[in-house]
Each structure stands twice: as C-alpha cells, then as structure tokens.
Amino acid sequence: MKPFATVLEAGTSLTNKTGSWRIERPSYVNRLPPCNKACPAGENIQEWLSLVEQEKYEDAWREIVKHNPMPAIMGRVCYHPCENACNRVVVDNPVGINSVEQFLGDMAIREGWYFAPAAKSSGKKVLVIGAGPAGLSAAHHLAQLGHKVTIKESQKKAGGMMRYGIPQYRLARKVLDAEIKRIVKQGVDLQLGTKVSDLNVLMKEESFEAVFLSVGAGKARTTPFPTEKDTRVFDAVSVLRDMEGKDKPDLGKRVAVYGGGNAALDVARTAKRLGAKDVTIIYRRNREKMPAHDFEVEEALEEKIEINFLSTIKSYQGKKITLEKMALDKSGFPQPTGKTERMEADCVVLALGQGVDAELFDGVDALKMEKGIIPVDEQMMTAQEGVFAGGDMVSSFRNVTISIGHGKKAARCMDAWLRGQKGASSKKHDLASSDRLNTWYYEKAPRRNRKLADPAQRTDSFDEVIKGLSQTDALSEARRCLSCGNCFECDNCYGVCPDNAIKKLGKGKGFEINYDYCKGCGLCVAECPCGAMEMTPEEN
C-alpha cells in the first residue's frame, strides 16, 4: 500500500475545506511595469527583457519592433526615461534597458534580421511628409498594416534630425542607414530631395487618401545682440546640418556656443572634433537649471569644454564677446547684474532652440500653428480631415523616442480611419509601484555599463563615444529585471501556502488557486516578490 502522502493530488489538502473562513481572497494580477509606462514609444520592455534573459535574442528584437522599428538608433540616442522609472533603484541601480536595446539592435543589423511580411494589401495610398523618426516610424507601421506608403523628404538623405541634428559620435551613420534601409525594404516608396509646396494639390494629383505630416524642427531660433559686419555668427542647426556635406564648417580655433540645451552640447563637442582648441558654452542660468542631460554635460566636461554659467552675451564685436553676469531671482529666472567681462572667440554659435518651418501649410486654411505646434486631436488628426501629424510638429518635447511613438500611434489611428473606424484606446493595468514589491528577495547585482572611449582620444575623430555591451553583459543586465507586477513563476506562493491550495499549471502557464481550501491568510500575497498578487474582499 502506498504511503498516504503520496496519493494526494496537487491542489488537495490534508485538512477540511476552509474556503468559508475567508473574508478576503488572494488572486493573481498583471500590473503595468513602470518602465513600460515611461516609454514614449510604448515598448513592452519587460517582455523583451524576459526574452533576452532566455537568450531568445531574435524573439526579443521582434517584440521591440512591434512598437519601435529602430532599436539600434534608440539604443544610442534615447534618453531612457524607462531607466529613470525602474524599480530596481530601490535595490541598487536601474536595469540598463537602453544598453540592452542597443545590443539587440546591433545584433539584428549583423544578423540581417528583417521585418515580418506585411499584412494583405488594403489598396489604400498614404503619404508621409518627412523622413525623420516620426515619419519613418509611421511608414513602417502603415506598411505593416498593408497600406501603400510614399515618403516625400526635402533633404537628399533620409533620417531627419537623426541625421542632420545628431552628431556621428553619438549615432554612427552606418547604423542609421541600416535601420532606414530595413523600413524602406518593406515596399515603402522613399522620394528624396522632394519638397512639398502645396499639400491640397498633391493629395488630389496623386490620389493619396490620408497624409501624415512629420516635418522636423529644423528652423533655428536666434536672438539679437550688437555685432560688427565681419563677425561670424552661426546657428547650431546649420552647423550640424553642414556636417553631413563634403565641406565641413570652419569655426576657427576659439568657439563660443550660446545656449544650454542638448544642441549646445552637440555643437560644442562637434567643434572640438573639427579642431577647435578652446570651446566655451555660455549659459545664462546655473548647472541645475541647464536643460541638457547631465550625462552629456559630464562627457563634454571630460572633453575639456568650458561652461560659463550665469552669463549672457551683450555684444560681439571684432573677436571680442562682452558677457554680462547674471543672478537668479527667487523664481530661478536670471536677472542682469551690470557686471561684465570679456572673452575672445573666432565665432559664436547660437543654440537657442528650434522651430518648425510653416511654409508647408501655406494655402491649407485648416492647418494653423498655435504656439509653434500643430493642434491634433486624440487620434493625431489635424483640423483637416484625413491629415494627421506627429513628432516635432505637435510636441514641444522634441526627441527621437517621442517622435517614434507618435509615428506608431498615428499609423494605427490612420489605419482605423481609412477603414471607417475609430482608433481604440487600450485600457492599461494598474502601475506596479515599488511599494508592491518584496525587494528583500532580490540580491544586489552590479550593473554592466557601456564603456566610453578615452576622453583624451575621442575628440580626434567622430567615432562613436559609447561602445555597446557584450552578449554576456547584455544577458546579465536582462537578468537584473525584477519582473515588476507580473508573475515569473518563482514558486514562492506555492511554497508558502499552508493549505496546499495553489496548483502549478506548467511552465509558462502560472498557477491557480483552489478556493475550497484557501482560507485567505494572505501569506502568498505577502511573499510575492514582484507584486503579482493581491487580496480582495470576499463577495457575499
């Protein structure tokens, strides 16, 4: 006769049924990881990190490109708000999500991975104006949905501000070209050097049924100050754009950059690589108020770029700049002090922000810019029926990640509109905040950071400054993910249940609770490391 314990089936108990004792019951839930919520492109970050952890690298890449068709680019230029939101910070340091994304994007280029075949042709013709991140993203998703897509781009090469605004030391052009080529290879008709002057006429002549406007913020803002006739004043947008031509800009040996954003950092570091000996950034507030990202400021300082804080340009005459010192008032706004000083410079580069050229909208009465942007509704449609917009045109928060997210959302809304439907807004799960986790279950694990080229050597060329992770390091980073809010089958609930009320359903299928035997003690919920269980009042 078999011992009594061996004849019990999983999910049964040695005790009597206790379900009637409960005032609360445990249940499994799925919560929204904070990294997913923070991603402007809407990536399911936790899912693709899980696939990397299982060494399913191509599957992980395919999960990313459901939302973002340019992971190798994003892994280089995204300012990773996902990492700022990562719950791992309560244990040690955030997961290096951005670096793992770059690893996958680079692997896809090396291995020649291409997108899955597009859906059956819809027979619809769609126009995208602008081949920047928003336009390329929209074109990809529209092509995947079966639409015939044409992109018209005024520049000689595609990429928009990714090419004409981001220096090569941050984004290698072979990477940019590879990811654009993959999008175009789906059958997208990319027409370069083609400026659209009359949108209404174009739509009628070429029978486009919907349009996505994605003109980048390529128009520099300036500010007046006294100068002499022969003084050399440039704008950052033009300098960075000219870097893509054969004749590089001649900025001289002493360069002053006026501004404090990322463009100011980019053009200052570019000047160093062009041979400038002394590069100074002039910014009218202090470092705490500087809009540039802190890591970029640090890299610039490592490259011996000076930053003259609390200063503004009063005049630039000959090769002498007169600076006025500023002081911040109680609200943090800079006020003049009347104190001045001088510095010498061969040129001044203005990096004071950018705007969108509104010439495209001439003659289209419904398209009017308000405070520098085009108003759109929740479906990304402008006031003109069938004309959608995204990227720099509709947001003052201008970066590649936001633009890629706009392209995806607009494509889905355009698809619904073309089919006579309305784009559905998906309901999101509750946030998996850090207070829902049992972080003491997680051991500290050192973060594997990407390595930077030596500061003394990196200004000698435009080679990329940041190097990608090795496969071993990418795998280690993925395994640091806490799986916030979603069960990863650690078996804690199964092990701590005193009533044997939890049953395993098999790998990848999770668990179920036999409520006949669960008395609602809550141990399983208390011991869930990732916050994937909750107690709810028992229904009468």
Domain of 461, CATH number, reads 1.10.1060.10
246 and 341 fall within a common domain: yes
The owner of tokens 């050192």 is 446
Provide the 3-class DSSP secondary structure of residue 537: strand
Overall average pLDDT of the 58-76 stretch: 98
pLDDT surpasses 80 at 127: yes
Overall average pLDDT of the 395-421 stretch: 92
336 and 247 fall within a common domain: yes
Q: In degrees to the nearest 10, what's the CA dihedral of 476, 478, 481, 483? A: -140
Bridge partners of 282, per DSSP, are: 258, 308
In a domain, 428, yes or no: no
pLDDT surpasses 60 at 434: yes
Phi, psi angles (nearest 5°) of residue 505: -100, 0
Q: What is the pLDDT of residue 103?
A: 98
251 and 178 fall within a common domain: no
Q: What is the pLDDT of residue 202?
A: 85
Across all residues in the chain, what is the average pLDDT?
91
In a domain, 412, yes or no: yes
The owner of tokens 């018209």 is 152
Q: Take residue 200 and report the two structure tokens written for it.
A: 């209404």
462/243 Cα distance (integer angstroms): 11
Q: What is the pLDDT of residue 3?
A: 37
Among 354, 386, 401, which residue terminates a domain?
A: 354
Instruction: Tell me the pLDDT tens digit for each residue of 41-55.
Output: 999 999 999 999 999
Q: How far is CA 86 from CA 34, 106, 397, in A?
A: 6, 24, 21
178 and 277 fall within a common domain: no
Instruction: Tell me the pLDDT tens digit for each residue of 321-338.
Output: 999 999 999 988 999 999
Q: How far is CA 203 from CA 9, 211, 377, 382, in A?
A: 68, 8, 21, 15
291 and 341 fall within a common domain: yes
Q: What is the pLDDT of residue 364?
A: 65
In a domain, 119, yes or no: no
Contact status, residue 388 vs residue 213, Cβ threshold 8 Å: yes
Q: Which residue has the higher pLDDT, 245 or 75?
A: 75
Closest CA to 131 of 159, 166, 163: 159
pLDDT surpasses 80 at 451: yes
Closest CA to 57 of 484, 457, 384, 475: 475
Provide the 3-class DSSP secondary structure of residue 290: coil
200 and 241 fall within a common domain: no
Instruction: Tell me the pLDDT tens digit for each residue of 360-390.
Output: 666 666 677 777 788 999 999 999 999 999 9
Overall average pLDDT of the 425-429 stretch: 78
Which residues, 6 or more positions from 8, have their beta carbon under 8 angstroms from its beta carbon? Answer: 14, 500
Contact status, residue 363 vs residue 201, Cβ threshold 8 Å: no
Overall average pLDDT of the 175-189 stretch: 97
Overall average pLDDT of the 506-526 stretch: 93
328/317 Cα distance (integer angstroms): 27
342 and 252 fall within a common domain: yes
Overall average pLDDT of the 225-236 stretch: 85
Closest CA to 85 of 28, 32, 30, 29: 32
278 and 327 fall within a common domain: yes
In a domain, 425, yes or no: no
Overall average pLDDT of the 448-454 stretch: 94
> Interior CA angle at 470 toward 468 and 472, to 5°?
145
In a domain, 120, yes or no: no
Instruction: Tell me the pLDDT tens digit for each residue of 169-181.
Output: 999 999 999 999 9
Instruction: Tell me the pLDDT tens digit for each residue of 242-273.
Output: 999 888 999 999 999 999 999 999 999 999 99
CATH at residue 414: 3.50.50.60
43 and 76 fall within a common domain: yes
In a domain, 192, yes or no: yes
142/410 Cα distance (integer angstroms): 9
The parent domain of residue 193 ranges over: 125-218+355-418
In a domain, 361, yes or no: yes
* pLDDT band with cut points at 50, 70 and 90 for residue 196: confident
229 and 346 fall within a common domain: yes
401 and 310 fall within a common domain: no
pLDDT surpasses 80 at 93: yes
Q: Which residue has the higher pLDDT, 87 or 398?
A: 87
Among 334, 354, 374, which residue terminates a domain?
A: 354
Contact status, residue 520 vs residue 25, Cβ threshold 8 Å: yes
Please give the tally of structural domains in the chain: 4
Q: What is the pLDDT of residue 16?
A: 67
Phi, psi angles (nearest 5°) of residue 322: -95, 120
In a domain, 438, yes or no: no
pLDDT surpasses 80 at 7: no
208 and 139 fall within a common domain: yes
| Percent of the chain clearing pLDDT 90 (strictly above) | 77
Q: What is the pLDDT of residue 121?
A: 93
Q: What is the pLDDT of residue 361?
A: 66
pTM: 0.91
CATH at residue 507: 3.30.70.20
Overall average pLDDT of the 153-174 stretch: 95
User: If you write DSSP's letter for every residue of 235-278 in order, what string do you get?
Assistant: EHHHHHHHTTSSS-----SEEEEE--SHHHHHHHHHHHHTT-SE
pLDDT surpasses 90 at 221: no
